[in-house]
Amino acid sequence: MNKILVVLIFSFNMLFAVDATMEIIKKSHSLPMINVSVSSDSGDLKLAKEIKKIIGQDLRVSGHFNVSNFNKSIPYTSIPSSPLMKQNDIDLFLNLQIQQSAFEGIILYISLFDVNSNKIVFNKQFTTSKQSRFPFLAHRSAIEINKYLNAPSIDWMDKFVIFSRSIGAKKSEIVIADYTLNFQKVIVKDGLNVFPKWADKSQESFYYTTYNKTVPTLMKANLYTGKKRQILKSDGMIIASDVSEDGKKLLLTMSPDGQSDIYLYDLEKRIKTKITKYKGIDVSGNFVENDSKVVFVSDRLKHPNIFAKKIGQRGVERLVYHGRNNSSATSYKDYIVYTSREGTNEFSRGSFNLYLISTKSDFIRRLTTTGRNQFPKFSSDGESILFIKTYKGKSSLGIIRINYNKSFLFPLKSGKLQSIDW
C-alpha cells in the first residue's frame, strides 16, 4: 500500500504513558512527501512565495509530513505530471494561487493533487481583509491539509501568541503574533507593560501588569474593542500567572507585605484567598489536576524549586529533585515542564534547560540542551511547548513538539522577549 493511502486510513493514537513519556503510536512509519508550489499564474509572486514558505514550515512542524524541495511551477488549473512527481518521490502536490480582494485584502486558493490516485482530492480558498495577516492564511491551509489526511490536530497554529517585548529602559510593549513571528501587532504600548496572559480560550481578552500607575496594577483588556479595566493593584508586584479552566478564577503572584505569595482570585465574587503563607518567595502559580492543586516556584530550599499544594489544604509537596535553580514552570493536566539552571555541563555553561515531569510519577525527560530556555507554556492540547530561548544574545520563540522529538526556533528581529502566552 502506498504512503498516501496508508496516511488516509490510519488513525494516530496519542498516549500519555505511566512514566509521563508522551509517545505517538502509528500504524506506519512512512510519512507522505508533499511538494508546495506557487502557480505560474498567481498574482503577487513575492507574497505567494512567503505563504509557500510558511505552509512548508507548518507541515514540517506538524510532524505528519515530509516536505519536498523539488521546484516545479504550473498554472493553477493544470494537473502536474504524475511520472515526474513519482520520479521525485512526491505523494502530494499542493498548488497555491493568490488574488487581490476588495480593500487591499487577499484570497488564497489551494489545490491538493494526489499523485498516486492521479487526481485533485482537495481544494479550498481562504481570505483576509488585511494583507499583514497572510501568515494565518498559510496556517489555516496547513491545518486543512492536515485534517484532510485525518492526522492529529494542529489547530493551535491558528492561535495568537501574546508576549511582552523590552524595547528600552523601563519600556516594554505587549504584542500579538502568529507562532512563527511573521505577523506581529503591538496592542499595548507606552511605559512598562509586562506579563500578558490570555483571559479565555477564545483569545478575546487578556490580562497584563502595568507599572505606569502609582502601584503595580493588573489590567484586563479586550483585544478587539481595546476596552481596558482595572482588576487589582498591589504594592511590590502583581502578576496573573494562570486562569482556571472555566475562566472564573485567577492565580496571582502578589507581594502586598514585602514577600511574594500565591493568591486565588474569584473574578465573580471579587474575593482573593491567600494560598501560600511562606516567609520567603512564592511565585508563578499554575493550576494542575483539574484546578484542584497549584504548582508554584519557591525558595524554600534557599534556591528556586518547584512545589505543589492542594487548594484548601496546608501541606506543601516538593516536585523536583533535580537542579538548584528551577525558576519557571507550566502545567497541563498532570504534566509539568520546568526550567532548570544547569551550571557547567557537556553542552554549555550556565544554561537553562527544560524538563518534563508528571505529578503522578518520578520520571523526568530533558527537552532542550543549549542556551537559556525559559518561560515554557503548554499548548491547549498539551502536545507542544512554547518557550523563550536566548542564545548568543538573541531572543527566539521556540516550539517543542513533544511527541515527535522535534524543536523549532523563530527569532525575534527587534527587542527582547520577556514573557509569553498562547
Of 63-72, 133-142, 192-201, 364-373, the one with minimum mean pLDDT is: 364-373
Q: What is the per-residue pLDDT for 393? A: 80
Q: What is the per-residue pLDDT for 25? A: 29
pLDDT of 363 > 90? The answer is no
Q: Which of 255, 248, 238 is nearest to 271 (CA)?
A: 248
Q: How far apart are CA 379 and CA 113, in angstroms?
A: 31
Q: pLDDT higher for 136 or 14? A: 136
Under 8 Å between Cβ of 37 and 52: yes
Q: Copy the grid coordinates of residue 213.
A: 500607575
Question: What does the pLDDT average to over 296-316?
Answer: 93
Residues of the chain by 3-state class (helix, strand, coil), percent to 5: 15, 45, 40
| Percent with pLDDT over 70 in the chain | 91
Type of residue at 15: L
C-alpha 247: how far from chain center: 19
Confidence of residue 361 (pLDDT cuts 50, 70, 90): confident
Question: What does the pLDDT average to over 48-74?
Answer: 96
Q: What is the per-residue pLDDT for 220? A: 98
| Percent with pLDDT over 90 in the chain | 71
Query: What phi, psi does 125 have (nearest 5°)?
Result: -125, 150
Domains and CATH numbers, the chain: 3-155 (3.40.50.10070), 158-421 (2.120.10.30)
Type of residue at 153: S
Under 8 Å between Cβ of 60 and 53: no
Length of the chain: 422
Kindly tell me the burial class for residue 13, based on how many C-beta atoms sit within 10 Å of its own C-beta (0-12, 13-18, 19 or more).
exposed
Instruction: Give the model confidence (pLDDT) of 376-420 as tens digits.
Output: 999 988 999 999 998 888 899 999 999 898 999 999 988 889 999
Q: How far apart are CA 195 and CA 180, in angstroms?
A: 20
DSSP characters for 172-218? EEEEEE-TTSSSEEEEE-SSBEEEEEESSTT-SEEEEEE-SSSS-EE
Question: What does the pLDDT average to over 57-61?
Answer: 97
Q: What is the per-residue pLDDT for 311? A: 95
Question: What does the pLDDT average to over 213-234?
Answer: 95
Owner of C-alpha cell 523601563:
170
Q: What is the per-residue pLDDT for 40? A: 96
DSSP characters for 243-302? E-TTSSEEEEEE-TTSS-EEEEEETTTTEEEE----SS-EEEEEEETTTTEEEEEE-TTS
Indicate if the alpha-carbon torsion angle 178, 182, 183, 189 is positive or negative: positive
Question: What does the pLDDT average to over 308-324?
Answer: 89
Q: What is the per-residue pLDDT for 21? A: 29
Q: What is the per-residue pLDDT for 348? A: 46
pLDDT of 28 > 70? The answer is no
Q: What is the per-residue pLDDT for 10? A: 32
pLDDT of 16 > 50? The answer is no
Q: pLDDT higher for 26 or 176? A: 176
Confidence of residue 344 (pLDDT cuts 50, 70, 90): low
Rounded to 5°, angle at Cα 378 from 193 and 154 = 110
With H, G, I as helix, E, B as strand and everything else as coil, classify residue 54.
Answer: helix
Q: What is the per-residue pLDDT for 27? A: 35
pLDDT of 331 > 90? The answer is no
Indicate if the alpha-carbon torsion angle 95, 153, 200, 339 is positive or negative: negative
Cα atoms in the 13 Å half-sphere on the side-chain side of 214: 0
pLDDT of 228 > 50? The answer is yes
pTM here is 0.87
pLDDT of 369 > 90? The answer is no
Q: How far apart are CA 160 and CA 350, in angstroms?
A: 32
Of 3-7, 9-13, 29-33, 146-150, the one with minimum mean pLDDT is: 9-13
Q: What is the per-residue pLDDT for 31? A: 92
Question: What is the chain's mean pLDDT, rounded?
Answer: 88
Q: What is the per-residue pLDDT for 13? A: 33
